[in-house]
Structure 1
Amino acid sequence: MKIVTAIDSMKGSLSSIQANQIVAEVFTTFGHEVSSVAIADGGEGTVAALVENNQGQLLFTEVQTLNGQYLAASYGWFAEKKLAVIESAQASGIQFLNGTVATHPKNTSSYGTGELILAAVEQGAKTIVIGLGGTGTVDGGIGLLSALGVRFFDENRQELPAKGSSLGAIADYSFENVPAKLQQIQFIIAADVFSPLTGDKGAVKMFGRQKGLQAHEIADYEAAMQHYQDVVHPEKENKPGDGAAGGLGFAIRHFLKGIVVSGFDYIAEQTKLTEKIEQADLIITGEGQIDAQSLQGKVPVGIAHIAQKAQVPVLAFVGSCTGEAAQFAEVGISVIFPIIDQVMTLETALKEAEQNLHRAAERAARLLALYN
């Protein structure tokens, strides 16, 4: 049997590459022909997936994290195409949030993602793909823009710090210090959600709570984000993807003329995933948690849509599952295999993800052997 594995990373435990390798080794042992595609949706693992599949290289540069600390962050570089691939989560990721005042949305910034862009520009990039999933900031992208030289001012012409607390005070801005070469670069926004910047499904109301905003803070923060949008974009055009990554989608689209695409669709195209699925007998995918949000276009569902058109069955390995099996079957996921086979804490499940996935893959392979 020809099998294609395309498993998303399982946050906090396994990368897409690691998960694919575990499953491929098991099914190969059972006599199947297995090929693997590292996959992502614009969030964590986007750079690794594209570098793995397209023989790129990882370059490193020191950047600020969302709370102002420093680390060496990586981005993907494809010299022949002069293409750079950046994950906003590398510098501005939700993994840096710790529940303290320092990582409250008012005090965090996407500045480090802007520093990654600058590093890619200095490397000679002509096209920059920016994956917007997994971020912990809600600053409308002013941090990223400040790193590129954009300056924001209050009504007294005092320059504002590049963090969330400044959104409601912005009265003007300046491009005076922005490098001219940025205008010659094509920016592609690889988004995993298509929320607008403001409104009920926007960056604040939809995702603010998970990034540290309290319920009683939402209304005021939404008003501040709306004020920012009104000042820098009087036409008030609210496009899908603008709310991705706490407003980074809006900043890159509006200020840098970026084009919004589905992160999953972009990676699927770059890896020729559709052609590989069409030639397979079985697709194996998966993610850490499959739920109602997955139906909005996360990796397993995106893969299932392609496989459904090609009439190829899909098996999904997941850490946990909420929702009705019929919902997932309807979109093309034939069967879901939870990889947890005994009672354990989340900490243990993350720590033992490799062993858990290996055992689940063996169970699935033995079941498949009954019918072959």
Structure 2
Amino acid sequence: MKIVIACDSFKGSLSSAKAGTAIADGIRRVLPNADIKMHPIADGGEGTSATLIEGLHGTWTPVTVSDPLGRKIDTAYGILPDGTAVIEMAAAAGLPLLSPEERNPLYTTTYGVGEMIADAIRKGCRKFILGIGGSTTNDGGVGCLQALGFTFTDASLAAISPGAVGLADLAAVSAEHALPALQDCAFAVACDVTNPLYGERGCSYIFAPQKGADAAMCAKMDVWLQKFAQCTKQIIPEADPLHPGSGAAGGMGFALKTYLHATLRSGITLVMEQTHLEADIAACDLVITGEGQLDAQSMMGKVPDGVSRLAKKYQKPVIAFCGAVSQDAGICNQNGIDAYFPVLRRVATQQQVMQPECAAQNIADTAEQVFRLISVFKEDAPV
């Protein structure tokens, strides 16, 4: 029996790889000769770099960069065997890097993300995968571009201040001193939001409040981002601030697409392509996916959604394992998941069941029982 396991992490308990290993352990108790293909996978959000590095046998590269307030921090990005750099924006500009009292998108910058890209370029990388979820910024990606050599100046030709507040004084943009190697680089960006750069659905009004902005700040930043777009058009006439995804990560989507010619991609699709999941699914008998909690949102671009859609392209049955299910999880059965199985096996506290050892045991035990049932109805499956 050929089985593909492609599940998300069980957040707070197990990585994608470890959750998949637990499922495989349970299966092999029943089908020791099963041909199991493991595909650690993520949807482009938090943890995507770790999933790709672990699943594709990449290496971590330590680097010291600026945090959202310009302080030096030690972080890391990954390099895959083919030389592709895998960078998570949150590693240098993420919300968890700041205390609640420090969160203010007027002053937070994406400069550290640009420093990570520049470091990878110096190390020879020319292909990039960027995950831009979880940011604490709303500077339009200008900080990132500054770290890559682009200049943003006010009317007196002085560099603008870091953060969204600097855009209030923006008068001109120049690519004259941008890193020459950028012309040889290709950027693929995991981006699952469709918001424009500015306007009612723009990043300032929709996302900035969760980053510390009040209503007055949102209104100001929206105007400043319009100015940024206008200045950009002076040197890049085809710039489109209303393109879906331009408002991702406080305008980082616009900066990457416009200045670095990045492609904005569905996170789950991008990861599935990188891990060559489709070929294994096409050749398998059964697909297994899952995540920590299965609910209606699981079928909105998350791992179970992407995996089940790909499986149904080849008419493959799909089962899912999860820590828990919500009342609306039934929608998963209408969207490609043939059956799902919560793995909680006894009454316990949340803290207990989220311990990695406990979670792995529950997943393996549940998988074993599911495959004992499967073996009853599959004559050629050795028990």
**TM norm structure 1:** 0.87
- Which residue identity lines up with residue 62 of structure 1 in the other structure? T
Matched, 1:63 2:65: yes
Distance 1:199 1:291 in 2: 31
After superposition, the C-alpha distances for 1:130-169 in whole angstroms (9 at most, x for unaligned) are 2223333222101111111222223443322221222333
Which residue number corresponds to residue 378 of structure 2? none
The one-letter amino acid of 2:99's match is N
Match of 2:31 in 1: 31
Question: Residue type matched to 1:91 in 2?
Answer: A
Task: Report what 1:242 is aligned to.
Answer: 246
| 1:333 partner SS | coil
Alpha-carbon contact 2:9-2:292 (below 8 Å) kept: yes
CA spacing shift, 1:356–1:56, aligned 2, 3 Å = closer
CA distance in 2, matches of 1:206, 1:321: 28
Contact 1:39 1:45 (8 Å CA) reproduced: no
How many angstroms does 1:215 deviate by?
A: 4.9
Q: Distance in 2 between matches of 1:225 and 1:165?
A: 10
Match of 2:87 in 1: 86
Q: Determine whether 1:331 maps to 2:335.
A: yes
Gap change, CA 1:104 and 1:272, over 3 Å in 2: same
Pick aligned residue for 1:266 from 259, 265, 270: 270
Does the 8 A contact of 2:46 with 2:134 survive in 1?
yes
Q: Give the SS at the match of 1:76.
A: strand
> Once the 2 structures are TM-superposed, how far is the Cα of residue 321 of structure 1 from its aligned partner?
4.3
Structure-1 residue corresponding to 2:75 = 73
Q: Give, in whole Å, the separation in 1 of the partners of 2:200 and 2:296.
A: 18
Change (3 A) 1:155 1:354: farther
Match of 2:114 in 1: 114
Cα 1:320/1:233, change in 2 over 3 Å: farther
Q: CA deviation at 1:250?
A: 0.9
Change (3 A) 1:153 1:301: same
Contact 1:115 1:147 in 2 (8 A): yes
2:49–2:77 CA contact under 8 A, matched in 1: yes
Aligned pair in 2 of structure 1 residues 285, 138: CA closer, same or farther (>3 Å)? farther
1:319 CA displacement:
4.4
* 1:289 to partner: Cα distance: 4.2
Please show how residues 154-193 of structure 1 align to structure 2 within 5 Å. 154-193=154-193
Determine the C-alpha separation between the residues in 2 that align with 1:13 and 1:282: 25
CA distance in 1, matches of 2:327, 2:222: 30
Kindly state the Cα deviation for residue 113 of structure 1 after the two structures are TM-superposed: 0.9
- Which letter does structure 2 place at the counterpart of 1:98? S
For residues 22 and 137 of structure 1, do their structure 2 counterparts lie closer, same or farther at Cα, with a shift above 3 Å needed? farther
1:129 maps to which residue?
A: 129
> Does the 8 Å contact 2:7/2:40 carry over to 1?
yes
Q: 1-side partners of 2:295 and 2:251: how far apart?
A: 24
* C-alpha contact 1:339 1:357 (8 A) present in aligned 2: no
Shift of residue 293, structure 1, vs aligned partner: 4.2
Change beyond 3 A, Cα 1:154–1:175: same
- The two structures, once aligned, show a CA RMSD in angstroms of 2.7
Q: CA deviation at 1:306?
A: 0.7
Conserved? CA contact 1:307–1:314, under 8 Å: yes
Q: Percent identity?
A: 37
Quote the Cα distance in structure 1 between the aligned partners of 2:127 and 2:342.
Answer: 39
Residue in structure 1 matching 2:358, options 355, 358, 372: 355
Structure 2 counterparts to residues 201-220 of structure 1, below 5 A: 201-215=201-215, 217-220=217-220
* Letter of the structure 2 residue corresponding to residue 303 of structure 1: V
Cα separation, 2, equivalents of 1:294 and 1:49: 18
Change (3 A) 1:337 1:108: farther
- C-alpha deviation, 1:265, in angstroms: 1.6
Distance change (3 Å), C-alpha of 1:126 and 1:307: same
Q: Per-residue deviation at 1:121? A: 0.7
* Aligned with residue 310 of structure 1, among 308, 311, 314: 314
> Offset at 1:291?
4.3
Paired letter, 1:284: I
Which ranges in structure 2 are unaligned for 5 or more consecutive residues? 376-383
For structure 1, the residue ranges without an aligned partner over 5 or more in a row are: none
Answer yes or no: is the 8 Å Cα contact 2:94–2:136 preserved in 1. yes
Give the CA deviation at 1:40.
1.7
Which letter does structure 1 place at the counterpart of 2:246? D
Which residue identity is paired with 1:278? A
Pair member with larger Rg: 2
**Partners of 1:98 and 1:299 in 2: CA distance:** 30
Contact 1:66 1:103 in 2 (8 A): no
Q: Does the aligned pair in 1 maintain the 2:352–2:358 contact within 8 Å? A: no
CA contact (8 A) 2:281 2:311 kept: yes
* 1:370 equivalent in structure 2: 373
Decide whether the 8 Å contact of 1:24 with 1:35 is kept in 2: no
Q: Which moved more, 1:223-232 or 1:35-44?
A: 223-232
Instruction: Find the aligned partners of 1:110 and 1:211 in 2 and give their Cα distance.
Output: 14
Q: Deviations over 1:274-322 (max 9, x none)?
A: 1212333332222344445443312210111011222223233334544
Distance 1:10-1:325 versus aligned 2 partners, 3 A rule: closer
SS at match of 1:246: coil
Q: Is the 8 A contact 1:140 1:164 kept in 2?
A: yes
User: In structure 1, how many angstroms separate the alpha carbons of the residues matched to 2:311 and 2:324?
Assistant: 22
Which amino acid is the alignment partner of residue 161 of structure 2? P
Q: Which residue of 2 aligns with 1:196?
A: 196
Match status 1:344 vs 2:359: no
2:313 counterpart letter in structure 1: K
